[in-house]
Structure 1
């Protein structure tokens, strides 16, 4: 790390933790390009000019392998963020990320469907690494008053990546889209090399002077910030993360009430996030518009519109998270998603009952329903479970617990994405969207009854909510 005297001057009062978070956002932006890839890539692969032909089963795997790879990535991330650090993990991730995209890009020349699927799995693996590591890096470097904004920015950058993929996919083939997408992991690599490791991790490794220097770099050094820096360092050192007892008995910690309760809360939030069907809806957005009979917009244009609105909503979530709080936003989000999916379900039910004439008259309904869904999802169900994962889980089990929660999230994403077409064949579109809608309303009840508010609290204060039975009231 550069000399502190060079990093801090009277002019550099701008909090560098914002820049650190911004650097990690390029990782989640790269994640977004993977999520949005299949929306236009699948029609491109199936076109007559494509050098690679995929069967219906292979198309299904192309959509779902990303999530399966992310399961493995999330499991590995829990250990990697402890052994090589949060920063080190983000830097390391960029290498297989670029390789996976290039393997997919050159699959056309090799005329190898398996190369596309392998590359898709590799990029999914990297998504699993990032989905765990970036929120932890942000939470451990950000000021508590801005942690909601920066943590929600993780979802915002995912949405930006999805939108970039939607726009580029309209104009370039699936192979060139891979090459474009490989740029963002490279940018993350360059920017993260200029950022410090988190003070939390450095303290846990006994590197006190480096932790102090990193904290000063991130939060500045004036009369008020110096005090904050010292308090932050002392807080880390008293979290119990450096004791031999905690190092040797992490899994035994899950028997403790103040550990298992937030862990189960995060698992439930991850389940409800994926049971909304969001990844299936994003992966197959273009397909959904085509199959719905919507003629008010070209399917690819409607897909781009959905992505653009999602970015705007995610930006609004960044501004609102630290003001409105986590709980009100996720309540609003789950209700909005449930109503949007209910509207989509009713539309398909009436289409089945009244035929193509109804589709022609009301083909705009799927566009409105999906836009409303993406807006609602981006306000709460999208960003807040990841933010709460980094806030609620105690520091001494965070690496293991975060890995379990993240892999659990991606496992459900894989299951729902892989079974999406099966659900449609079995329950029809109306039944499938109704099922997702009911689960969103179940999320509303769960959050209203059991989730505490964490707005404006330090990580230690949040942990104390679950340590002290007298303070575990529902806010």
Structure 2
């Protein structure tokens, strides 16, 4: 008997001694031997990508007020151009999602992640050197392209590296680093002009390229390519020297062999493919229809028009709230579960969006039909005792989103797809997310004018009601399950570790 088979037999025997049920205790015995230090290190390196992504998302909020009043007429943005500057990132990201879906299956998760850093750095370099509005647009498209690839590959990379006991926590770090990036750029925007801000934004992707050179490819991708020895070496790096990684490698290899072929059209009739695909797409639609990107892109403008004098400081406070509650979500994700947090998050956003609508309805009531974007100098100033309502509504919304609908759609996307369609299905989800982000962000001011500001937030509240219903009815709990068990759940088969 060869050494790997012997080690696997010993592990099976040890597990059987502890629990006659067998396989579940096998898994527990194996995980008790795992050391997570290098897994955390690999996660830390990979989430520099989402931090870069957060810098891109947050950049427009401090940069737009300056670019709309800049002295140089070649760079000065009018209202329409400012709208494009904020939203065109989503167009680049949608293309990046498609590109990322192809790259992760062709060159792997690690190399795709390293590739992300190039358009990030080039995009911010174009913004730094901008001599006209079109260069600003080009820089935003490039950074958007990188953001789209990043939003696809990093959740996949982490979910395929991590074991089931920490996958939820580590997967939530993706969104945590996004919001850290957003808060970081808000803070930097208090002290730096738009060019120096772009220079700061190019630092995380540069570090990403360097750090990922020392990290492994994911074992699942290596096994799907028939590279068993490299997969065992990667697992040994990620699980530590004491874990008998041949056991986990054999388990993953069995699943990869069952689904070894690439995507075929007939696979779309397989419930193990179309069910998670529909869930993944709807998660992305509902995430954007909460209004989060519209609110974050125009955070300073919203506070200005809500008559907060220190609107830039208010945006920093919003970013801080988002960081704190995303960190809370990461800490409790593997205990509370995905489904419970999604429901709590959705309910919080229903309440906060409805309250925000009430606030804007009350301050525009003397001029019925006047929207947030069209408030005139003749409009009555809101009563001072209503200002708390806008601040509280924003705080509750951001906290609620950060607890569930921020991190969990990306986490679930990385967990539910079979390995042979993971690149394609994830690309569809990312394209959906960024396509919806573009539509919501670009049409936000138009919705304000057509529906009034109150009506716009009430529309977002109604969508949050729908996402709570969808969560209760259709989203399975993935807490504590291996990726292979989750796949078996969708096929109606008995799950196995």
Q: Same fold per TM (> 0.5)?
A: yes
RMSD of Structure 2 on Structure 1 (CA): 1.6
Q: Distance in 1 between matches of 2:308 and 2:147?
A: 32
Q: Is 2:335 the counterpart of 1:314? A: no
- The match for 1:36 is 58
Change (3 A) 1:14 1:142: closer
- Ranges in structure 1 where 5+ consecutive residues have no aligned partner: 1-11
- The match for 2:146 is 126
Q: Is 2:82 the counterpart of 1:59? A: yes
Contact in 2 for aligned 1:69/1:124 (Cα 8 Å): yes
Matches within 5 A, 1:19-418: 19-49=41-71, 52-107=75-130, 110=131, 112-222=132-242, 225-226=243-244, 229-240=245-256, 246-247=261-262, 249-295=263-309, 298-354=310-366, 356-418=380-442
SS in 2 for 1:103: helix
Q: Distance in 1 between matches of 2:248 and 2:139?
A: 41
Contact in 1 for aligned 2:124/2:202 (Cα 8 Å): yes
Q: CA deviation at 1:230?
A: 2.2
Q: CA deviation at 1:358?
A: 3.1
- The match for 1:6 is none
Matches within 5 A, 1:425-440: 425-440=449-464
Contact in 1 for aligned 2:280/2:413 (Cα 8 Å): yes
Q: Deviations over 1:248-304 (max 9, x none)?
A: x43321111121011101111111100011011000000000011234xx1001000
SS in 2 for 1:381: coil
Q: Deviations over 1:398-417 (max 9, x none)?
A: 11100111111110000100
Contact in 1 for aligned 2:271/2:490 (Cα 8 Å): yes
Q: CA deviation at 1:360?
A: 3.1
Q: CA deviation at 1:208?
A: 1.1
Q: CA deviation at 1:143?
A: 1.6
Q: Deviations over 1:147-193 (max 9, x none)?
A: 00000000000000000011111211111111100001011111111
Contact in 2 for aligned 1:423/1:432 (Cα 8 Å): yes
Contact in 1 for aligned 2:356/2:390 (Cα 8 Å): yes
- The match for 2:375 is none
SS in 2 for 1:454: coil
What's the TM-score once normalised by structure 1's chain length? 0.92
Q: CA deviation at 1:469?
A: 6.5
Q: Distance in 2 between matches of 1:315 and 1:413?
A: 23
- Ranges in structure 2 where 5+ consecutive residues have no aligned partner: 1-33, 367-378
Which structure has the larger Rg over C-alpha atoms?
A: 2
Q: Distance in 1 between matches of 2:334 and 2:168?
A: 5
SS in 1 for 2:166: helix
SS in 1 for 2:404: helix
Q: Distance in 2 between matches of 1:14 and 1:267?
A: 32
Contact in 1 for aligned 2:259/2:419 (Cα 8 Å): no
SS in 2 for 1:38: helix
What's the TM-score once normalised by structure 2's chain length? 0.88
Change (3 A) 1:76 1:18: same
Figure out how many residues of one structure are paired with residues of the other and give that number.
449
Q: Distance in 1 between matches of 2:192 and 2:69?
A: 13
Q: Distance in 2 between matches of 1:48 and 1:75?
A: 36
- The match for 1:463 is 487
- The match for 1:15 is 37
Q: Distance in 1 between matches of 2:154 and 2:348?
A: 27
Contact in 1 for aligned 2:223/2:256 (Cα 8 Å): no
Q: Deviations over 1:193-227 (max 9, x none)?
A: 110000111111111111110010001121xx21x
